[in-house]
Amino acid sequence: MPGILEKPPATTGDYSCWLPRHRRSGSAARRLLREFLGRLTDGGRYLWAGESVLTELVNNAVQHARTPQGRLVMVRFELRPGRLRVEVHDAGDTVPTLRTAQPDDEGGRGLWLVEQLSAGWGCCPREGGVGKFVWAAVAPENEDAA
């Protein structure tokens, strides 16, 4: 996998970096989120759901964004009071939609998982740029996500 364009996760409540649009970027994003949350007070309370949501959003950007070869995806994390905000930016313009997967479908459950594990999610155009970003707000463990 090509290198990650990153600086080490900060000790503040906000972090972003660029990743290659590659099938292994989901695992790289999870590692970065673990490092980010590990440096923050109470960050571990967001880890399980945060990793799951982030993986789905990165995988969607890698698999479904119709972009030219070599485009990158950006991940952004922000710990706010009572919420972890996760964003994944890509150069595609297709808005993700929640769908109902059939029992024998091998895929199609990613956004359903995001919806179940987050307090909310959405998609917005990138301001002043190409593409969109998909965001999700994750509640801490042991708190109602809805």
CATH number at residue 49: 3.30.565.10
103 part of a folded domain: no
Structurally, the chain folds into a number of domains equal to 1
What's the pTM?
0.84
67 part of a folded domain: yes
SS3 45: helix
Mind listing the pLDDT tens digit of every residue in the chain (146 residues)? 444 444 545 545 789 999 988 888 899 999 999 999 999 888 999 999 999 999 999 999 988 777 777 788 999 999 988 999 999 999 888 888 777 766 776 676 788 889 999 999 999 998 887 889 999 999 998 765 44
Neighbour-count burial for 121-134, b at 16+ CB within 10 Å, e otherwise: beeeeeeeeebbbb
User: 18 is in which domain, residue-wise?
Assistant: 14-96+110-138
Q: What amino acid occupies position 31?
A: R
- Taken as a whole, the chain contains a residue count of 146
CA distances from 111 to 25, 68, 73, 99, 117 (A): 18, 24, 18, 8, 10
105 part of a folded domain: no
